[in-house]
Structure 1
């Protein structure tokens, strides 16, 4: 078991170091700060995986107050994973193609622009996958212990809350820790409720639902996979 964990951890560490190096090089070449900022966003997106793992450990030890605290922290930081998708707006100044006068499509030959796209794409994939894996861990824990209707209800709540949290993060520039200043936090929220905020929140709730449904189908549909994820 120990050797298996070391075998898995080593390529993960190497991949993280390579991505950090990729981020630094991309920033130096493109002068776009998003290529450094995404490292912080990825750190926040990885925290739910830690909290989900701690939740499972404490549940096996039956330390329920720590389980409750970890679940709260998980929900607090989980939206940071799907939030990464919105970082593509930082590429809005880049034109990847143009239309000539004879309506021919001319693609950009600026390698640095494509480098920015690849870098953000990899970061979004890593962060989103980390978040979905953390949700899989908690989902499998709930499936073994709770009624199916309650499990689906909790998933629905996670989707809605996370979709709204992404709106708060992108448009109101609120962070997870701003919740610890409840008066200012809820005052900003009360002033931001609109048709757009509701529509945006539901749109990203749908995005999270679709991404998680796809990931769980791929990784949990195999024989015995549910048991493996439950013990991860």
Structure 2
């Protein structure tokens, strides 16, 4: 009779597999960026590598919380959770880099499409994997309903963060480096919502899109588990 595998060991094994798959996908994106630089002699899309690095941060934080146990996790939960929420929008933000798709000399349009789509896919998968980790932490403590409420709010807030980053050009670290301007712009839109229809249009449409996508991924995973069982 084989010894039972602990939840910590199971998480670690699953996470190593996920890290390997995501690592291979991210490596492909970086390779496409590098090949484009060689083809064109320009660093135009090098910013996508930076965006992928930012998208990795919330995934790294949720992985750290998943590995931590007992008092260690309890001590990390609040500061790590706050940092996670702050950096989380950077992952789904990558889907908006499709705005940069345009015909340019020196490289086929299909190549740029594949490059940007691969980065957007990686950002989305990093976001969903990270959110699943955090939802599980909430579910264990507060129940399934609270877990899904957390996921919904997190995705809506991330969509608002996408708007702040794409249209107002704020970064996650502006919370520390430019807090007054950030606070003013956010409160101005909260207090005068009808003056900024684009803000809430982006937040709602992207939020619903991300939520449906996340729900689909979770259902696919559950269906696979039930079939295997």
Q: TM-score range by the shorter chain?
A: 0.7 to 0.9
* Residues 159-205 of structure 1, C-alpha deviations (whole Å, 9 max, x = no match): 22111101000011001111123222112323455122111111111
Q: Which SS does the other structure have where 1:35 is aligned?
A: coil
**Are residue 197 (structure 1) and residue 199 (structure 2) matched?**
yes
Residues 85 and 154 in structure 2, CA contact (< 8 A), matched pair in contact too: yes
Closer/same/farther in 2, CA of residues 199 and 31 from structure 1, 3 Å limit: farther
Aligned to 1:228: none
Aligned counterparts of 2:187 and 2:13: Cα–Cα separation in 1: 52
Question: Structure 1-normalised TM-score?
Answer: 0.78
Cα 1:88–1:6 change in 2 (3 A) is closer
Superposed CA deviations along residues 118-144 of structure 1, whole A, max 9, x for unmatched, are: 011111111110110111112223223
| SS in structure 2 at match of 1:175 | coil
Report the alpha carbon displacement of residue 40 of structure 1 after superposing the two structures with TM. Answer: 0.6
- Match status 1:94 vs 2:103: yes
Residue of structure 1 in register with 2:5 after alignment? none
Alpha-carbon deviation of 1:64? Answer: 1.9
> For residues 4 and 49 of structure 1, do their structure 2 counterparts lie closer, same or farther at Cα, with a shift above 3 Å needed?
closer
1:158 to 154, 158, 161: 154
SS for the counterpart of 2:224 is coil
Match of 1:215 in 2: 217
Tell me the matched-pair count.
210
Residues 48 and 77, structure 1, Cα contact 8 Å, conserved in 2: yes
Cα RMSD after superposing both structures: 2.9
After superposition, the Cα gap between the structure-2 partners of 1:156 and 1:39, relative to the gap in structure 1 and judged at 3 Å, is same
- Residues 53-64 of structure 1: pairs in structure 2 closer than 5 A: 53-64=63-74
Instruction: Please point out which of 134, 139, 144 is paired with 1:138.
Output: 134
Which structure shows the higher helix fraction? Answer: 2
Question: Per the alignment, do residues 90 and 59 of structure 1 end up closer, same or farther by CA in structure 2, a change over 3 Å counting?
Answer: same
Rounded to whole Å, the distance in 1 between the matches of 2:15 and 2:159 is 34
CA contact (8 A) 2:40 2:107 kept: no
Q: Deviations over 1:46-83 (max 9, x none)?
A: 11111101122335444423111111111111111111
Structure 1 stretches of 5 or more lacking a match?
A: 96-109, 226-232
Match of 2:124 in 1: 128
Alpha-carbon deviations, 1:8-67, whole Å to 9, x = none? 766655554443222111133246645211111111111111110112233544442311
Which whole-Å CA distance do the structure 1 matches of 2:36 and 2:94 have between them? 18
Q: Where in structure 2 are the equivalents of 1:71-86 lying within 5 Å?
A: 71-86=81-96
Given that 2:65 and 2:73 are in contact with CA atoms closer than 8 Å, whether structure 1 keeps it comes out as no
Q: What is the CA–CA distance in structure 2 between the aligned matches of 1:221 and 1:135, rounded to whole Å?
A: 19
